[in-house]
Structure 1
């Protein structure tokens, strides 16, 4: 594999951190509290953003080998992400074409050349074709080619698998991030752990938490806060998505910014993958979070931790387990997601009519502007 190098956009953000040319907002702005609490607003967002736009369903690392499949229920319909024998990723409705039974149950990956329905044992290859059925003589004239699994539009790019419910969806905005993610070799990472959090909060409150660094040294004072400089953040947009770089080391200006590994050790890159994805790149691992709104005040968040390779020693395993525990259970679970849940409780009382955003919270403003535009 060729040596990894930052993209021009990633390098530009690092340069901004180094020379202090960080753009901040110029005035206070506000967001109406009702955008987090109004069920009718939530329904409009679901239709416009989660039914009509491409969404990330999982990292490529969830399906590391051919002939693998993973059931997925987080987006309101039973889905099935697969990788066929040729290595191509697909997303299907997880519905047998015989009597509508769920083809694969649970939520863990399965590895097999065929998926067999538990009801009548109709079998399908991982590219969705109906390959066989018991007693075919009792289905005279059945054309197997017309009874394959129902496939949804999908795209695998930059180490992520995207899908859409709408057959007319354009994936160009999704693909726009692929070069950035290739710079981290996201497609070559190993999936170390995954966990789904059930957060009693509106999905946008969770996105808000990852769209600004104003809270880092406050909310995360006992965990990762001391690792970062306060308010030293540069950001821009890639289409509807937001990209940011947060300074970890005080001497960024003295770094050889052509040394990608050194730069990653000094800068944490984060992406708000519009609408409901979050990618955080730590110096030696990556967290991908997929947000799946369930109602106006409930969101499932699946957290994936990706590392360069599978642990080969007990020492390596212990290292990654500590990192996973720190981020998934501590920083995200006990701090970011809890803050979102407490915010939902507070906003639901009506005590706050609008949220007040300072000049370090312009990422939240930009995200909400993008949501409003899509509605």
Structure 2
């Protein structure tokens, strides 16, 4: 039951997506990297992780959540896992904002919890200073006790942000934020219709592994028919892959060759039935479009060996029947509870445990794992650029 077909029969892939699909169909191989290695210390060294945090997670634009988390005006959700207290809002005109979740009066945390709130006003629990969801200071008790205070100068502190392709990005740096690459990615995500999807499920996983070990699993197809042998492995075959880069971000595709003959690859609905795309974004986010829904996973490293992964399942429309809801529930249980948590994330934890022993000085990568080498080169380039 692919809702993609019925809602958007004319939706078409971008030129970049189509080029990868044609690579697969015509047997072209873009990855020419032979056997290579990655040093083990990049996963296990706390000092290396501290450099990554300063150069990448504290500097580069990054995804916070899909637009579908805040579908309507007058909504707000706290977000703490980046290491700073953030507040994501959608104002009365529908624009998304990212603020520091801090009252301008005495620095009190403004909104508690982690769930989405529907509200037009944000009231500080300490002294009831009141803000609009667009950040303006609306009112404060006993304004006469603050003579000369200019309310316009006391709005919430806003960080640079961008909403594109159904995703909300922010920049931890307040000056010179560059969202050009995010806008380029937004073209693909618009082609997938991600901005029109709705949120079905949201869950945060606590993974005892380095954030790059999680990313690695989505940068190669070598493991798919092995690790996922009892789940999604039978739907894939080795070798039918292609990939490219959009700035520092990787885009990959895995095709089912036996089903591609005669398929009109320029029709998005048909393309998604035979080719699975995946986007591996720097710093650490994954976009996995299945044939009829999309998973957005955001990596939020807490230490060199601990990562929070927030997984969002987006579907084309709210379930209209119990049968439809059961369909999506089964898909969610298969991927989030089984494939991702039970297999990919567990493999990352086992990898962390093994590498921590020092028994393996470097990881050896084959020709089906070239995406991992490219991703690590991108991380290393970001580290050099910050020096």
CA contact (8 A) 1:25 1:358 kept: no
- The answer to whether the aligner puts 1:214 opposite 2:222 as a matched pair is yes
Corresponding residue of 2:282: 274
In the TM superposition, residue 133 of structure 1 has moved relative to its aligned partner by 1.0
- The answer to whether the aligner puts 1:291 opposite 2:299 as a matched pair is yes
Q: Residues 229-278 of structure 1: CA distance to partner in whole angstroms, max 9, x if unpaired?
A: 22311111111111111113513132122322111111111000111110
Specify which of 308, 313, 322 is matched with residue 330 of structure 2: 322
CA contact (8 A) 1:68 1:84 kept: yes
Corresponding residue of 2:19: 12
Corresponding residue of 1:38: 45
- The answer to whether the aligner puts 1:374 opposite 2:382 as a matched pair is yes
Question: What SS does the aligned partner of 1:195 have?
Answer: strand
CA distance in 2, matches of 1:81, 1:301: 18
Q: Equivalences for 1:1-375 in 2 at 5 Å? A: 3-167=10-174, 168-248=176-256, 250-375=258-383
CA distance in 1, matches of 2:72, 2:260: 39
In the TM superposition, residue 64 of structure 1 has moved relative to its aligned partner by 0.2
CA distance in 2, matches of 1:74, 1:296: 15
CA contact (8 A) 1:288 1:304 kept: yes
Question: What SS does the aligned partner of 1:178 have?
Answer: helix
CA distance in 2, matches of 1:41, 1:253: 47
Number of residue equivalences = 375
Corresponding residue of 2:4: none
CA distance in 1, matches of 2:33, 2:127: 64
Superposition TM-score, scaled by structure 2 size: 0.95
In the TM superposition, residue 100 of structure 1 has moved relative to its aligned partner by 1.0
In the TM superposition, residue 279 of structure 1 has moved relative to its aligned partner by 0.2
Superposition TM-score, scaled by structure 1 size: 0.98
In the TM superposition, residue 46 of structure 1 has moved relative to its aligned partner by 0.7
CA contact (8 A) 1:122 1:130 kept: yes
Q: Residues 6-46 of structure 1: CA distance to partner in whole angstroms, max 9, x if unpaired?
A: 00010111111111112333421000000001111101111
CA contact (8 A) 1:228 1:249 kept: no
CA distance in 2, matches of 1:63, 1:169: 23
Q: Gapped runs of 5+ residues in structure 2?
A: 1-6
CA distance in 1, matches of 2:358, 2:32: 27
CA distance in 2, matches of 1:41, 1:364: 18
Change (3 A) 1:117 1:17: same
Q: Residues 181-233 of structure 1: CA distance to partner in whole angstroms, max 9, x if unpaired?
A: 00011110000000000000010001101101110000000000001122311
Corresponding residue of 2:3: none
CA distance in 1, matches of 2:244, 2:51: 27
